[in-house]
Amino acid sequence: MKLSRLFSSTSLPVHSIASAKELHGHLIRTHKNSDPYAISDVIRFYSLFPTSLHKALLAFNQTEQPALPIWNYVIRGISKSDRPIDALHMFDRMRQRGLRGNNLTFIFIFKASIHLSDIVFGRAVHVDVMKLGYSSYLYVCNALLYMYGSCGDLASARNVFDEISERDLVSWNSLICGYSICNRYREVLDVFASMQEENVNADAVTLVKVVLACSYLGDFDTVDSVVRYIGDNCVRIDVYLGNTLIDMYGRHGLVTLAEEIFAKMEERNVVSWNAMIMGYAKAGNLTAAKELFDKMPNRDVISWTSMITGYCQVNRFSDAIALFQEMMTIKVKPDEVTVASVLSACARLGILDVGKAVHEYVRQHDIKMDIYVGNALVDMYCKCGSVNIALEVFLNMRKKDTVSWTSIISGLAVNGFHDNALQLFLQMLGEGCKPTHGTFIGVLLACAHAGLVYKGLEYFESMEKLHGLVPEMKHYGCVVDLLCRSGNLNRAFEFINLMPLEADVVLWRMLLSACKLHSNVVLAEIAANKLLQLDPDNGGNYVLSSSIYATAERWDDAMNTRQLIDEGTVQRPPGRSSIEVDAIV
């Protein structure tokens, strides 16, 4: 068949990019590409796909006096592109040509306004809608309603909703989405209740927003009613609704309910599996999480990271590192969360070689060095004793938060760099970063190890007076340690008695150990009696008391104390140690 016969009518429908290109080429060769009637289908089809949008614009610009439908094709295509601002420019250009637009034009412009969060332009177009009489068109009202809700003008969204005489499901969902976007979760549930009162059947889109609202509000009664609603109304649990339910149940430790939803889903994606794994990890059931992980048809970086962070949460740091090494073997690139979790595991186990290897991997593979990775590196190097590298990482961090400062201050203090720790604390305050309870533990430790008694007490008193931080048991423990290390045992004892909190076994054990060191038998007996009252089953307390008596040559008391261990139900905790061999602890 000759090409001239094939294109004897330029109104033939276009069904593919290939046919659009063929027709476009024919129109160019026959000099009809400027004819708005002839080129209309070509522009329409080009505008449907981002990859051919530039062709639509080229054809459009060569068209003489484009009709309104052609303007709409182009505005629709641009509104969905990565430059929705150009859709608004095209709309202005159209009006300059004397065309005012129709219901479809306004729907596309409202969508472009949503992408740009340009409520000012949206409001101006709303005026045009009312002037031209399109405010009675349901689809236009729904688009306008969604635009206001997405841009945060909930009052206008509600007004538009209330003025719609015959609402459809899209109207209700648009209002619910607006409230959800603005975190107005109570209103989401109120609108859903109104839907039920008016016998409007909700769909999966509605229920996703309702479940999210319940999750944030902790309203599990409504969630139960939503699940019953799904069953009673035969609502299909698609991947979005299913994933939302699984995530909500998993976050709140309701794994059994999450399992039920997972089993009912006809279609699952990787997000479904990941949500279930995270639910198991949240509940501490890493065995079930690993079984599901092993069954996954496809895994992404979130799958691996969920397992690794899950192991870290239950202190199975060796398993976390082993899984990370497996992840590296099969060439799955970790993200910042993975790296921070593995570095945390290395810090807890003191595996410096693996930590260094992870750090080098971050450098070589352009993994984003965000504040969480930076903090994890500082913590890891400090806990592994490489303070100089930790300080280098800290100083090179572009952004620092309270955790960054606390990690380096505490790390320096524990590793014996007391002066540096206190200097950094003053620098932290000078830069306007507010210290936390953890920061002051590091500061007080530095003072204790450096023997700065008065400075330490001054910092302790400043916690509440200057920074509004009420001291906790750990801070009182640091002060007791500070006083005991300096030999001020009587002052330490007075401090314990004046505490607003009831001293725990750690504080009394500190005092008892200091009494042994300084041969203060009188205070030792008081501390020992307190310990035996608070922690009678700990054999270490009896051994320490007996040792003090023996040092003072009170052999009968030493023997009697040791006999208490044999006569009672005192547990002698077994000794434990660990070593690293080939990056395995």
Under 8 Å between Cβ of 346 and 381: no
The pLDDT assigned to 407 comes to 95
* DSSP codes joined into one string, 314-366: TT-HHHHHHHHHHHHHTTPPP-HHHHHHHHHHHHHHT-HHHHHHHHHHHHHTT
Under 8 Å between Cβ of 145 and 153: no
Separation of alpha carbons 149 and 117, rounded Å: 10
Coil vs helix vs strand at 571: strand
The pLDDT assigned to 366 comes to 82
* Confidence band, pLDDT 50/70/90 cuts, at residue 2: very low
For 136, 142, 160, 521, 541, the CA distances from 552, given in Å and listed in that order, are 97, 88, 88, 7, 17
* Confidence band, pLDDT 50/70/90 cuts, at residue 369: confident
The pLDDT assigned to 301 comes to 95
Mean pLDDT on 562-572: 58
Q: Which residues contact 493 (CB under 8 A, 6 or more apart)?
A: 511, 523, 526, 527
Q: Is 365 exposed, middle or buried (0-12, 13-18, 19+ CB in 10 A)?
A: exposed
The pLDDT assigned to 33 comes to 86
Q: Is 126 exposed, middle or buried (0-12, 13-18, 19+ CB in 10 A)?
A: buried
Does residue 5 register a pLDDT over 50? no
The pLDDT assigned to 358 comes to 94
The pLDDT assigned to 10 comes to 45
The pLDDT assigned to 552 comes to 56
Mean pLDDT on 146-168: 94
Mean pLDDT on 383-409: 94
Separation of alpha carbons 148 and 301, rounded Å: 36
Mean pLDDT on 158-176: 95
* Count, residues in the chain: 585
* Confidence band, pLDDT 50/70/90 cuts, at residue 546: low
Q: Which residues contact 150 (CB under 8 A, 6 or more apart)?
A: 114, 117, 177, 178, 181
Separation of alpha carbons 282 and 277, rounded Å: 9
Does residue 572 register a pLDDT over 60? no
The pLDDT assigned to 30 comes to 87
The pLDDT assigned to 231 comes to 86
Q: What are phi and psi of 571, to 5 degrees?
A: -90, 135
pLDDT by residue (tens digit) across 49-80? 998 999 999 999 999 999 999 999 999 999 99
Q: Which of 60, 125, 110 is nearest to 80 (CA)?
A: 110
Q: Provide the β-strand partners of residue 29.
A: none
pLDDT by residue (tens digit) across 456-490? 999 999 999 999 999 999 999 999 999 999 999 99
Could you tell me which residue, 509 or 462, shows the higher pLDDT? 462
For the chain, what is the largest distance between any 2 Cα atoms, rounded to a whole number of angstroms?
A: 120
* Confidence band, pLDDT 50/70/90 cuts, at residue 6: very low
The pLDDT assigned to 149 comes to 95
The pLDDT assigned to 531 comes to 77
Mean pLDDT on 289-296: 95
* Confidence band, pLDDT 50/70/90 cuts, at residue 1: very low
Coil vs helix vs strand at 401: coil
Under 8 Å between Cβ of 524 and 492: no
Q: Which of 492, 536, 529 is nearest to 510 (CA)?
A: 492
Structure tokens at 526: 């008081």
Mean pLDDT on 153-176: 95
Q: What are the respective helix, strand and coil percentages of the chain, to the nearest 5?
A: 70, 0, 25
Mean pLDDT on 31-52: 89
* Candidate from 192-206, 293-307, 441-455, 560-574 with smallest mean pLDDT: 560-574
Does residue 242 register a pLDDT over 70? yes
* Confidence band, pLDDT 50/70/90 cuts, at residue 397: very high
Mean pLDDT on 246-275: 92
Coil vs helix vs strand at 8: coil
Q: Which residues contact 327 (CB under 8 A, 6 or more apart)?
A: 304, 308, 334, 338
Q: Which of 329, 330, 334, 331 is nearest to 308 (CA)?
A: 334
State what percent of residues in the chain have pLDDT above 90. Answer: 68
CA atoms within 13 A on the CB side of 44: 18
Does residue 13 register a pLDDT over 60? no
CA atoms within 13 A on the CB side of 364: 7
Mean pLDDT on 193-216: 92
Q: Is 542 exposed, middle or buried (0-12, 13-18, 19+ CB in 10 A)?
A: buried
Count H helices and E strands in the chain, helices first.
34, 0
* Confidence band, pLDDT 50/70/90 cuts, at residue 403: very high
State what percent of residues in the chain have pLDDT above 70. Answer: 89
Q: Which of 437, 438, 378 is nearest to 412 (CA)?
A: 378
Q: Which residues contact 103 (CB under 8 A, 6 or more apart)?
A: 134, 137, 139, 140
DSSP-derived letter for residue 435 is: P
* Confidence band, pLDDT 50/70/90 cuts, at residue 550: low
For 5, 8, 24, 27, the CA distances from 32, given in Å and listed in that order, are 16, 12, 9, 5
